[in-house]
């Protein structure tokens, strides 16, 4: 059997390297690749062969590493790499089976961390990943043999898979509660239109930012109510759709006009009582386990506390500095087999 495997991390990169090994490697590459000078690839027997990939016309280099082992070095775009892999598959080469390319090797874990490091967007996530780059690969063999350490490692699965991914935070609440004002206050610029007219926001407005070092996407949504207006109805439907996939839901209540929460299907993770500057008496909330934060979006009070509570609700517990943690679903799956 002939196998292929991308050796460079997926995603951004100037160059991609795809290894092809096995008894049909020469023939399979020869069917997809034309060397400069047009002599067939199999007749050249050179260590480095320059030419183009037939299906895409891209210029690339094929390196013979001895024996049945070759490397295709191409432009690193996702499209170029996908086309090469698809052509290799079509001619009979196979991606590695989980067990055949030593998925549980320290090198593979190191490659996982390096890929995530390349994609990291904040200093905090990069720092945590860099720490894992040092401690995770050497821990792999130990974890396979020590059930207690493996349990503790797997216990960090939810944190390890999420902290480097952008978390989706969605604001919801009644029209006019101040969702757009709050979004703008956190972002520091006028992302959303604010007016005193209830039903101002219709589309879901998203923006990327960073809260306490965690990359997040903030979404401002249309106020939830039974609207007669068709545009507003669509806005409410879009808001509900966005809420379904949220990692964290923040419901915004107007302190000057508090209304009972009548959306049992939406469970907020944080409740913000906004317009604290207008409230004469404290708002009486129904019993809730979600933390409650009082803010004034227009005056900026309470925003720092809201950001702190948001960070703590997203990631209530951080791993000790020497704790190896799983970073991908497949690391969890593969190591779970040793339980």
Radius of gyration (C-alpha) of the chain in whole angstroms: 27
Distances (CA, A) of 188 to 173, 207, 220, 303: 21, 11, 14, 11
Q: Are 295 and 315 in contact (CB under 8 A)?
A: no
Strand order in the sheet with 292-294: 205-211, 214-220, 167-173, 248-254, 270-274, 292-294
Choices 5-13, 90-98, 199-207, 210-218 (CB under 6 A): range interacting with ligand GTP: 199-207
- Closest distance to Mg ion from the beta carbon of 268 (Å): 17
Determine if 206 is a binding residue for ligand GTP (CB under 6 A). no
Among 21, 74, 201, 219, binds ligand GTP (CB under 6 A): 201
- Please provide the DSSP assignment of 287-319 as one string: P-SS-EEE-BTTTTBTHHHHHHHHHHHH-S---
How far is it, in rounded angstroms, from Cα 273 to Cα 287? 14
Among 36, 278, 304, 308, binds ligand GTP (CB under 6 A): 278
Task: Name which of 80 and 256 has its Cβ closer to ligand GTP.
Answer: 256
Task: Name which of 54 and 229 has its Cβ closer to ligand GTP.
Answer: 229
Among 277, 305, 329, 333, binds ligand GTP (CB under 6 A): 277
- Closest distance to ligand GTP from the beta carbon of 223 (Å): 3
Nearest to 334 by CA among 116, 113, 153: 153
How far is it, in rounded angstroms, from Cα 310 to Cα 289? 15
Q: How many residues bind ligand GTP (CB under 6 A)?
A: 23
- Closest distance to Mg ion from the beta carbon of 218 (Å): 13
User: Of these partners, ligand GTP, Mg ion, none, which one is at the site of residue 175 (CB under 5 to 8 Å by kind)?
Assistant: ligand GTP
What residues make contact with Mg ion under the rule CB under 5 A? 180, 200-201
Among 34, 168, 298, 328, binds ligand GTP (CB under 6 A): 298
How far is it, in rounded angstroms, from Cα 113 to Cα 123? 15
- Hey, which residues between 9 and 68 contact ligand GTP (CB under 6 A)? none
How far is it, in rounded angstroms, from Cα 86 to Cα 98? 19
- Hey, which residues between 217 and 276 contact ligand GTP (CB under 6 A)? 222-223, 274-275
Residues that bind ligand GTP (CB under 6 A): 175-181, 194-196, 198-201, 222-223, 274-275, 277-278, 296-298
């Amino acid at each position: 059997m002939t196998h292929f495997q991308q050796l460079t991390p997926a995603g951004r990169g100037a160059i991609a390297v795809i290894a092809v090994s096995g008894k049909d490697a020469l023939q399979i590459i020869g069917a997809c690749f034309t060397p400069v000078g047009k002599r067939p690839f199999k007749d050249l027997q050179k260590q480095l062969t320059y030419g183009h990939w037939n299906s895409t016309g891209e210029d690339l280099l094929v390196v013979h590493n001895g024996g049945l082992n070759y490397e295709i070095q191409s432009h690193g775009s996702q499209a170029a790499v996908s086309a090469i892999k698809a052509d290799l598959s079509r001619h009979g080469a196979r991606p590695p089976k989980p067990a055949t390319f030593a998925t549980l090797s320290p090198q593979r874990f190191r490659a996982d961390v390096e890929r995530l490091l390349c994609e990291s967007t904040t200093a905090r996530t990069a720092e945590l990943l860099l720490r894992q780059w040092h401690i995770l690969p050497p821990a792999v063999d130990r974890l396979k043999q020590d059930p207690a350490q493996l349990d503790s490692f797997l216990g960090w699965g939810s944190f390890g898979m999420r902290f480097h991914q952008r978390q989706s935070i969605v604001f919801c609440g009644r029209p006019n509660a101040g969702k757009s004002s709050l979004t703008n206050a956190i972002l520091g610029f006028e992302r959303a239109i604010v007016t005193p007219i209830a039903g101002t926001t219709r589309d879901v407005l998203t923006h990327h930012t960073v809260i306490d070092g965690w990359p997040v996407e903030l979404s401002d949504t249309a106020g939830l109510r039974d609207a007669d207006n068709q545009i507003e109805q669509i806005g409410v439907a879009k808001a509900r759709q966005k809420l379904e996939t949220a990692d964290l839901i923040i419901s915004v209540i107007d302190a000057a006009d508090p209304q009972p929460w009548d959306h049992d299907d939406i469970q907020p993770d944080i409740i913000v009582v906004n317009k604290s500057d207008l409230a004469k008496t404290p708002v009486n909330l129904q019993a809730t386990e979600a933390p409650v934060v009082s803010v004034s979006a227009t005056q900026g009070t309470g925003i720092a506390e809201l950001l702190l509570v948001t960070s703590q609700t997203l990631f209530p517990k951080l791993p000790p500095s020497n704790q190896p943690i799983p970073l991908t679903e497949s690391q969890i799956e593969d190591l779970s087999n040793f339980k």
